[in-house]
Structure 1
Amino acid sequence: MVNYEAVINARPEKWHKAAEEWVTLAKHALRAAQDIRDNGTKPLADNWTDEVGQKAAKEFEKLADQLESAYDILLGGKMLCEAVADSMETALSSAREINELAQRHNLRIGPDGLPEGAPMPGEDPDKLHAREHIVALRDHVLQQVGEADNTAAAKFSMLTKQVNLADPDEALKVQNKASQAEMEILGAEIPKDAGPMTQRMWWNGLSDKQRHELMLADPVALSKLEGLPESAKREMRGTDGKFDRVKMVEYALQNWDQDDPIDFGNNCTNFVSQALDHAGMQKKLDFWSGARGDDTWGHESGIGNDWWDKTMYYSKSWGGAENQQNFMLDHGGEEVPRDQVRPGDIIYYEQAGDNDQIEKGNTHHAAIVTGVMPDGEIKYTQHSDPYRNVSLDGRLPNTEKAEGQQKVRIVRPHPDWY
């Protein structure tokens, strides 16, 4: 159990440094795996075809698999280190807010984070309220760091058991679990169960940078806080009022593994459209041809048969990644650089390398940005295959290994038809 003294003596910079070292090692491991495949496995398979050559090629491939697996496990460690560091930083901000409130009301804070001494008879009501607020915020701090400590310890233990893993597919699952844990640790920073005054104190204690980072990381949880300023909620929802970005993210996080209202077979883009629809994006239909016009997005009621409805009552931009991407860009949307990405943006994969089944230049996949970590790592949620809050850069090498080089484009819709 973490006590208050440990909180105020925390050194988040050491955890940030550890995260940097983990990600450096991860990149080295991935490069080594690729070098072995390019300069070992492939030449052997091409030029030494007897039994001995085949055996040597298998050994090289096993080593490459171990290194590729190490990449995912090390990247998972980096995520946990960053999460712990961020949790420490917000806890320290809350501790400073406690001290400032105590000073304003001539209260002394003990090593346990609580006001020293009992309330005096006839004590000023404002001072009594300050005591209550300090206790509530201190309790949140201990709960926050306790959850972070327990979650991180459990997931670091999970990683240590996988150090000899030589199965990249299984290692990617480990990375995904670490990504989920990172989001859990970050979510514990937000005082969801506290009262509005405690929430306001917590928010006021954060720096502008921390507020901005949390708005990018977990807009759904923040938007539900009664004590949060309406201006912050409006910024997360989207200031143009065209659709609610928080509702879009919330839909994605709640429905990532659920059946879709209509089945297109590959439902990745359909899932994005369902989220936009849920968030309030208005449909653009043609007067004569309804949803099936050349410049439409949306659907009509249909007859209840998936094959007929998706053919006749849904726009081509509803379920097709390239059609949707082009429609959004043609109607006010903008392609945004990585350092400006926000939850509610749409990720599109454009084929840039060789693939027998996907033509170069074809946009073939779509997903939703559901969080951006303080270090800039982008988390996304998708359907077909379903994943929730996984790392874009963390999973990209696996995608490119399976499908060839990808050009990742991130689009922010700004509907101009209403």
Structure 2
Amino acid sequence: MVTYSDLISAHPQKWKDAADDWAALAKYALNAANDVREQGAKPLADHWADEVGAAAAADFVKLANQLESAYDLLLSVKMVMEGMHTSLDTAMSIACQITDLSRAHDLPLGDDGMPLQCPAPNADADQQQAYREIVALREQALRQATEADEKTAAELNRLAGMVGVSDPDKALKEQYHASHVEMDMLAADIPKADTDPAVVRAWWNGLSEKQQHDMMRAEPVKLAQLDGIPESTKREMRGTDGKFDRVKMVEYALDNWDQDDPVDFGNNCTNFVSNALDHAGMQEKTSFWEGTRGDDTWMRGNPTGIHFPGFEQIDRSLGHSKTWAGAENQQSFMLRHGGEEVDRSQARPGDIIYYDQAGPNDGLKQGAAHHAAIVTAVMPDGEIKYTQHSDPYQNASLQGRLPAVEKAEGQQRVRIIRPHPDWY
């Protein structure tokens, strides 16, 4: 259990510095893995085809896999340390807010962060309210610091046992687990849903402007559900133009990432994005004459409901526009109708990620989008978490998973598109 004395003497920046060091090591390992594949394994496979050459190439592949696995595990450590830094940093801001409240309302604090005495029975209402806020904020700060401490210790101990992992697929699963641990720590940094709105307000006001901004990008759903968060903040997270609710879009993605979609297109990544947009209130763009076959619609139509072999795909097409479940069609449609492409550093929850095929791949058209996902969180250090179908992932790291995607499918151009529907 983290004590109040432990908290106010903590050094969050040391965790941030350590996270940056682990991130640098991870980048070094990934670059080395790519170099070994490109400069070692590939030339041998191309130009030395006998058994000796094949054995040498296999050794290079093994080394590259070890380095790639190291990248995933090192990045996992970085994620956990980032989570610890954020939790401690915000907890210390709460401690500063407690000190400010105690001074403003003449409630001296003990070493444990509790007021030395309760307000007198005849104390004014403001002092009594300040006392309640101090007690609740102290509980929040110690709870989040303790949870972060326990989760960090457990995850780092678990990752220490993975040092010998050389299977990139296994290491990637460990990275996905670490991503969820980081998100769990951030979730604990936010007051519980039944917290007194006055305490929530005091908590929010105790955060710096940057910390507020970071929370809005990392946990928009939880923040939007809290009474006491300013309505202007909630409106900014939901989208100020009122065209669709970005928080509801993220909420749908987080709640349905591993659920069956209403209609299965086989590869359901873009269909999942459309369903999330529909849930968030984006209005369909219809055409009375052309319906779902129109080139400039985003809509559901009227499938026949007839089922027999070979007709299912036709029926799905009758029921949905080409932009509903096709990544390239949807991306082009959104950009034609008010959408903007934003830099990764400007991404925020409710944006859409598209993968454009940039490198050669026999099964994918070069230059076209072939995959779509939803930005569901952005970490304080700018790392993007996304949620998708086909395959289903919740709050996976874009930075963490992209190298594996490019190894399997070739170089990708990742585009972040922010919809601004202009048809209504």
Relative to 1, partners in 2 of residues 1:97 and 1:353: Cα closer, same or farther, differing over 3 Å? same
Structure 1 position 128, deviation (Å)? 2.1
Match of 2:309?
none
Q: Which whole-Å deviations, capped at 9, do the CAs of 1:301-320 have from their partners, x for residues lacking one? A: 43445534422121000000
Superposition pairs for residues 63-102 of structure 1, below 5 Å? 63-102=63-102
Maintained 8 Å contact 2:267/2:390: yes
Which residue, out of 406, 411, 414, partners 2:417?
411
* Equivalent position SS for 1:26: helix
Q: Does 1:331 align with 2:337?
A: yes
Q: Distance in 2 between matches of 1:303 and 1:375?
A: 49
Q: Does 1:295 align with 2:311?
A: no
Aligned length: 418
Match of 1:347?
353
Q: Which whole-Å deviations, capped at 9, do the CAs of 1:44-83 have from their partners, x for residues lacking one? A: 3334433333323222211111110000000111111111
Maintained 8 Å contact 1:299/1:314: yes
Match of 1:273?
274
Counterpart amino acid of residue 149 in structure 2: D
Q: Distance in 1 between matches of 2:305 and 2:70?
A: 48
Match of 1:122?
122
Q: Distance in 2 between matches of 1:118 and 1:100?
A: 17
Match of 1:360?
366
Q: TM-score scaled by structure 1?
A: 0.97
Q: Distance in 2 between matches of 1:47 and 1:301?
A: 56
Maintained 8 Å contact 2:301/2:321: no
Relative to 1, partners in 2 of residues 1:152 and 1:304: Cα closer, same or farther, differing over 3 Å? farther
Moved more, 96-105 or 52-61: 52-61
Match of 1:45?
45
Q: Which whole-Å deviations, capped at 9, do the CAs of 1:308-342 have from their partners, x for residues lacking one? A: 44221210000000000000000111111112111
Maintained 8 Å contact 2:257/2:392: yes
Superposition pairs for residues 158-177 of structure 1, below 5 Å? 158-177=158-177
Counterpart amino acid of residue 13 in structure 1: Q
Relative to 1, partners in 2 of residues 1:283 and 1:121: Cα closer, same or farther, differing over 3 Å? closer
Match of 2:229?
228
Q: Which whole-Å deviations, capped at 9, do the CAs of 1:375-415 have from their partners, x for residues lacking one? A: 11111000000001011111111100000000011111000
Match of 1:212?
213
Superposition pairs for residues 382-393 of structure 1, below 5 Å? 382-393=388-399
Counterpart amino acid of residue 336 in structure 2: D
Q: Percent identity?
A: 62
Counterpart amino acid of residue 166 in structure 1: S
Match of 1:320?
326
Maintained 8 Å contact 2:45/2:53: yes
Counterpart amino acid of residue 161 in structure 1: G
Maintained 8 Å contact 1:16/1:82: yes
Counterpart amino acid of residue 357 in structure 1: G
Maintained 8 Å contact 2:8/2:95: yes
Q: Distance in 2 between matches of 1:197 and 1:43?
A: 65
Maintained 8 Å contact 2:292/2:317: no
Maintained 8 Å contact 1:69/1:167: yes
* Equivalent position SS for 2:291: coil
Structure 1 position 195, deviation (Å)? 1.5
Q: Distance in 2 between matches of 1:235 and 1:101?
A: 28
Match of 2:133?
133
* Equivalent position SS for 1:270: helix
Counterpart amino acid of residue 280 in structure 1: G
Q: Which whole-Å deviations, capped at 9, do the CAs of 1:325-366 have from their partners, x for residues lacking one? A: 000000111111112111100000000001011121111000
Q: Distance in 2 between matches of 1:207 and 1:396?
A: 32
Maintained 8 Å contact 1:290/1:313: no
Q: Distance in 2 between matches of 1:229 and 1:200?
A: 8
Q: Distance in 1 between matches of 2:301 and 2:43?
A: 55
Match of 1:147?
147
Match of 2:406?
400
Maintained 8 Å contact 1:284/1:291: no
Question: How well do the aligned residues superpose, as a CA RMSD in angstroms?
Answer: 1.3
Structure 1 position 158, deviation (Å)? 1.8
Structure 2: 5+ residue stretches without partners? 307-311
Maintained 8 Å contact 1:12/1:85: yes
Q: Does 1:376 align with 2:382?
A: yes
Structure 1 position 192, deviation (Å)? 2.0
Structure 1: 5+ residue stretches without partners? none
Q: Does 1:179 align with 2:175?
A: no
